[in-house]
């Protein structure tokens, strides 16, 4: 993994335990972290949780690495704040695409334009990458925020999982439909009853509920 990333022009440092990695990050924050769930000592999930509780590293771009059969761990990692994941075994091309997409996602987020979507009890501020529900700020990952903002811009419009991926990651991003479903699980959980605004369209994808539908026309 390290060799192939170096070939792509990245400067890579490898650490073999969660404690070692956390100590290194405390000294100097990286541009991106690739974190294996299975680590000696602190697990990857524990490392992810520790980072997201730290103000300085709360939004550090982070990709989780899992083995097949660890679906629950993947969901947990995304809920804790991981931006994406890859499942072993994976190809060099897939890893490179994920790394480039997460880094691009961060750059795009930092350059977000001013746009605020206001609904009863819900405010989505693209400029601040901030969601307010009933006057309370909700902490979302970058991916979760982008999904919510993307869907909310066109209430009632149905998007396929592929369209959602393209909108938040880029058309060359390689990802399974399951990844979007994982993100939706975490997003809906975090926004509570507002999660009902995100509707699953069976066999197609998702849409943001149009709250004006069904109202009497006068």
Parse the chain into domains and list their residue ranges.
1-111, 113-218
**Looking at residue 15, what is its pLDDT?**
95
Show the tokens assigned to 144: 């979760």
**Looking at residue 89, what is its pLDDT?**
86
Strand order in the sheet with 198-201: 158-160, 205-208, 198-201
- Chain-centroid distance, C-alpha 117: 20
pLDDT at position 192 over 90? yes
pLDDT at position 179 over 90? no
Pick the CATH number of 113-218 from 1.10.10.10, 3.40.50.620, 3.50.50.60, 1.10.3720.10: 1.10.10.10
Point out which residues pair with 158 in neighbouring strands: 207
pLDDT at position 218 over 50? no
pTM of the shown model: 0.55
**Looking at residue 79, what is its pLDDT?**
82
CA dihedral 124, 184, 182, 149 (to 10 degrees): -30
Residue with tokens 């993994």: 1
**Looking at residue 107, what is its pLDDT?**
67
CB 83 within 8 Å of CB 105: yes
CA–CA distance from 188 to each of 101, 130, 159, 200 (Å)? 23, 16, 17, 11
pLDDT tens string 73-125: 888 888 888 888 888 888 899 899 889 888 877 766 654 444 789 999 999 99
Instruction: Work out the percent of the chain whose per-residue pLDDT is above 70.
Output: 88
Point out which residues pair with 123 in neighbouring strands: 118, 132
pLDDT band at 170 (very low <50, low <70, confident <90, very high): low
206 Rama sector, left if φ>0, alpha if ψ -120 to 50, beta otherwise: beta
| H or E stretch at 26 | helix 18-27
pLDDT at position 71 over 80? no
CATH 1.10.3720.10 holds for 1-111: no
Point out which residues pair with 198 in neighbouring strands: 208
């Amino acid at each position: 993994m390290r060799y192939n990333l170096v070939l792509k022009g990245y400067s890579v440092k490898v650490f073999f335990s969660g404690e070692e990695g956390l100590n290194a990050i405390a000294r100097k924050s990286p541009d991106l972290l690739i974190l294996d769930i299975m680590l000696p000592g602190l697990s990857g999930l524990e490392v992810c949780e520790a980072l997201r509780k730290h103000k300085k590293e709360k939004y550090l771009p982070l990709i989780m690495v899992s083995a097949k059969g660890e679906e629950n761990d993947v969901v947990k990692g995304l809920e804790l704040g991981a931006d994406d994941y890859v499942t072993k075994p994976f190809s060099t091309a897939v890893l490179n695409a994920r790394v480039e997409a997460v880094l691009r996602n961060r750059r795009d987020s930092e350059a977000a334009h001013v746009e605020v979507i206001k609904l009863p009890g819900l405010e989505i501020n693209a400029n601040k990458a901030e969601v307010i529900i009933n006057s309370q700020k909700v902490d979302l990952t970058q991916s979760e925020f982008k999904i919510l903002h993307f869907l909310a811009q066109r209430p009632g419009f149905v998007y396929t999982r592929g369209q959602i991926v393209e909108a938040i990651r880029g058309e060359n991003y390689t990802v399974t439909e399951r990844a979007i479903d994982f993100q939706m699980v975490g997003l809906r959980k975090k926004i509570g009853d507002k999660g009902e605004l995100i509707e699953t369209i069976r066999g197609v994808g998702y849409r943001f509920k149009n709250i004006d539908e069904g109202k009497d026309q006068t």
